[in-house]
Amino acid sequence: MNILITGCNGQLGNELQLLEPSHPNHIFYNTDVAELDITNQQAIETFIDTNHIEGIVNCAAYTAVDKAEDNEELCTLLNAEAPAYLAAAIGRRKGWMIQISTDYVFDGTQHTPYTEEADTCPNSVYGKTKLVGEFNVQKFCPQSMIIRTAWLYSSFGNNFVKTMIRLGKEKPELGVIFDQIGTPTYARDLAVAIFTAIEKGIVPGIYHFSNEGVISWYDFTKAIHRIAGITSCHVRPLHTSEYPTPAKRPHYSVLDKSKFKNIYGIEIPYWETSLQDCISKL
Residues annotated as catalytic are 126
Structural contact between residues 215 and 254, judged by C-beta atoms closer than 8 angstroms: no
CA 256/CA 276 separation, integer angstroms: 23
CA nearest neighbour of 264 among 91, 145, 153: 145
CA 219/CA 62 separation, integer angstroms: 27
Structural contact between residues 116 and 205, judged by C-beta atoms closer than 8 angstroms: yes
Tell how strand 205-208 and strand 144-149 pair up.
parallel
CA 75/CA 64 separation, integer angstroms: 9
CA 273/CA 73 separation, integer angstroms: 39
Contacts of 24 (CB under 8 A, 6+ apart): none
CA nearest neighbour of 268 among 56, 113, 99: 113
Question: What is the radius of gyration, based on Cα positions, of the chain?
Answer: 19
Tell how strand 152-153 and strand 185-186 pair up.
parallel
- The Cα-based distances of 146 to 20, 58, 136, 282 in angstroms read 21, 10, 11, 30
For CA atoms 82, 84, 89, 94, the dihedral sign is positive
Cα 139 from chain centre: 21
